[in-house]
Amino acid sequence: MKKSIIFIYGIISYIVFLIAFIYAIGFVGNIIVPKSIDSGAESTLFSSLLINVLLLSVFALQHSIMARPQFKKWFTTIFSPAMERSTYILLSSLALLFIYWQWQPMTTIVWETESKIAIYVLRAIFFLGWGIVLLSTFMINHLELFGLAQIFDNLKNKKTPNPEFQTNYLYAFVRHPLMLGFLIAFWATPSMSAGHLLFAIVTTTYIFVAVKYLEEKDLKKAIGKKYETYQKEVPMIIPFTKTNSRANEDNSVKIN
């Protein structure tokens, strides 16, 4: 395929991701966006539960299958390797937009606070969570993670180097700061509806399963002993739960 078309495809994918990411803040936080987690007409509890779990499962399946090294290998036998990450980002973002669109509100309040201070603090923690997510993407490699490095390098006839294994900054405190950011953002709310609680429970379960059984397995395979040492020394998600907060000073390992 023409390099310029791949470039435009990558840029469009990134724009769709930006829209899905920014919308996610409004959707989960019930702010600004026209359709949020608690807005819209309510249906029966059973049908809402079923539809919402199905929606989240579609995202989980798409995300997990496309992140597998075997899938990436297969994809690159058909399409340019430069398109692989952009396609992953595009389909993940479309799956997210589909969730926002079809999400069935379940507005029964499970817990809430009326204290003004608590509301401000929880709101601040919510935004802190999203901030951690964004910051973590730059600590790994934002451009590579979202396919931009690949499409730029492809234009210059260059192969994008594999990403560096990061063990510094937030990655010195937990192995999955990006996921920690999501967990904070999904749970920190002054008013927890049944729908929001369902969203938080299902996404938390998925994050733990995907990280432990898929991502870490792949990283161990790609990095080997160094990743095992990192696992021993740095907590998975909750900071300060291991005596050493730092794995190895040398982060010059590439992820194959």
Ligand X SMILES: C[S@@+](CC[C@H](N)C(=O)[O-])C[C@H]1O[C@@H](n2cnc3c(N)ncnc32)[C@H](O)[C@@H]1O
Residues that bind ligand X (CB under 6 A): 136, 140, 163, 165-166, 171, 176-179, 211, 215, 219, 255
- Whose tokens are 């991701």? That residue is 17
Considering beta carbons, is residue 179 or 200 the nearer one to ligand X? 179
Interatomic CA distance for residues 190 and 122, integer angstroms:
6
Strand partners, 230: none
Q: Give least dist CB 177 to ligand X, A.
A: 5
Q: Give least dist CB 12 to ligand X, A.
A: 20
Contact predicate 234/173, CB 8 Å: yes
Give the containing element (helix H, strand E) for 251: none
Interatomic CA distance for residues 144 and 219, integer angstroms:
16
Interatomic CA distance for residues 219 and 7, integer angstroms:
28
Considering beta carbons, is residue 24 or 179 the nearer one to ligand X? 179
Considering beta carbons, is residue 47 or 256 the nearer one to ligand X? 256
Q: Give least dist CB 201 to ligand X, A.
A: 19
Q: Give least dist CB 140 to ligand X, A.
A: 4
Considering beta carbons, is residue 177 or 190 the nearer one to ligand X? 177
Contact predicate 220/228, CB 8 Å: yes
Considering beta carbons, is residue 114 or 250 the nearer one to ligand X? 250
Contact predicate 123/116, CB 8 Å: no
Question: Can you say whether the dihedral through the CA atoms of 122, 182, 162, 222 is positive or negative?
Answer: positive
Q: Give least dist CB 127 to ligand X, A.
A: 18
Strand partners, 191: 112
